[in-house]
Amino acid sequence: MGGYDRTITMFSPDGRLYQVEYAREAVKRGTTAVGIKCRSGVVLLVDKRVGSRLLEPSSIEKIFKIDEHIGVASSGLVGDARALVERARVEAQSNRITYGEPIDVETLAKKLCDHMQTYTLFGGARPYGTALLLAGVDIGADGKAHYRLFETDPSGTLLEYMATGIGIGRQAVMKLFEEEYKEGLSAEEAVLLGLKALYTATEGKFDMNTVEIGVAGEYSKKRAVKKVVESPTGSTTQILSFRKLTAEEVKSAVAKFSKTVKKEEKAE
């Protein structure tokens, strides 16, 4: 490589920034996280991959609430992800104070990517070794809720997906989504598809008890809590905000998925 990986400010002769590529490798070694857009929202699922039986699973946090209507899932270096999460929370609150309304999901995603991209320009710092999945609810000019799912990477690239994955199991997850994802899934169906994606990515080795799930939108009508949000036009609408599923809800979803897996194994 001729020393082109010693600084972020130096391109190699073939136009590559090796430090950015190394940061992407850090993401690839991270735990698998998936995001799926469904009929009534966006779901995020993460395999927390607890490495020791002495570790408290609750101390590992991979899904974060940014604002009432936005949440993120991370993969890669946890410390870097926490720094970006704190920045995202400040941006969201600054938007509320300045404009008196919730920040758009796309606007927040672009602000984060702009910040991440600056760390590919200056010496003395390194790129963020983490990728994020941003899920949230935007209120359009028509007053209707629009659900968004964005993926960032260490270079500052921003892409919007209907379903995607990051981390060590990305390749297996994307293959499954290409084959099985359908528009119009219910939130419950999206969660089951996400669990199947994590199960496939880890070849059935992940612990169902360490799954973390977040939902932007509606998951269960019986437990749904609607909140009034103002649109840019000044009108108000009731939407379901971002929240993490309770332990009971996760346990129920995992139990339902486990039954499906057992049926498929018996059929084979």
* Residue 209: CB atoms within 10 Å: 12
Cβ contact 229:139 at 8 Å: yes
- 118 included as an active-site residue: no
DSSP secondary-structure letter at 114? H
Picking from 169, 213, 235, the residue whose alpha carbon sits closest to that of residue 38 is 213
- Rounded distance, CA 61 to CA 194, Å? 18
- Rounded distance, CA 112 to CA 152, Å? 8
Cβ contact 63:69 at 8 Å: no
Catalytic option among 31, 32, 120, 210: 31
> Quick one: tokens of 145?
């809720």
Show which residues are catalytic: 31
